[in-house]
Structure 1
Amino acid sequence: MGTPSDSAFDAELDTTGLYCPEPIMLMHNRVRDMRPGEVLKVIASDPATTRDVPKFCNFLGHELLAQEQHGDDYLYLIRLG
């Protein structure tokens, strides 16, 4: 798979400007509306997401497909488990 900026995804969540714990809370809400196997693209500006998103995926059984940084933005691709 490519990078988060050029890969296919089923839904996108932009948490730019929000700080812990808001991005993770919004991710919890968003994945409730999705099905296993679908891919969520998350855009964040909080550096804490580099720690929180992998823990979120590990804890809930989702797969972190990709993670990258573009300037002050952090991009993630998560396949729901």
Structure 2
Amino acid sequence: MNVTIDKSLDASGLLCPEPVMMLHKIMREAVSGNVIEVIATDPSTVRDIPKFCLFLGHELIEQKQADTHYFYYIRKS
């Protein structure tokens, strides 16, 4: 992946619904085209963050897992 990350959200240790609520706040503050990196440990984010992006029209550029951490790269619409 070769994109510039404009904002990063570390939601490690937080459980549903906190990671998505925090992502929603950061998205409101971001400008269109910004790329947001989300780091989470809650397995429910695998379901919740892609649905969040689909529902609000943001682009989920990449989603990956490394050990107990989940990484998401989202471009704001």
- Aligned counterpart, 2:70: 74
Q: Deviations over 1:7-44 (max 9, x none)?
A: 42100000000010000000011111100111000000
Q: Is 2:6 the counterpart of 1:17?
A: no
**What is the TM-score with the length of structure 1 in the denominator?**
0.91
- Aligned counterpart, 1:43: 39
**What is the TM-score with the length of structure 2 in the denominator?**
0.96
Runs of 4+ in 1 over 3 A off after TM superposition: none
> Over the residues paired in the alignment, what is the CA RMSD in angstroms?
1.0
- Aligned counterpart, 1:32: 28
Partner of 1:67, secondary structure, is strand
Supply the AA of the counterpart residue of 1:29. K
Aligned with residue 65 of structure 1, among 40, 55, 61: 61
Alignment: residue pair count: 77
Give aligned-pair identity as a percent.
49
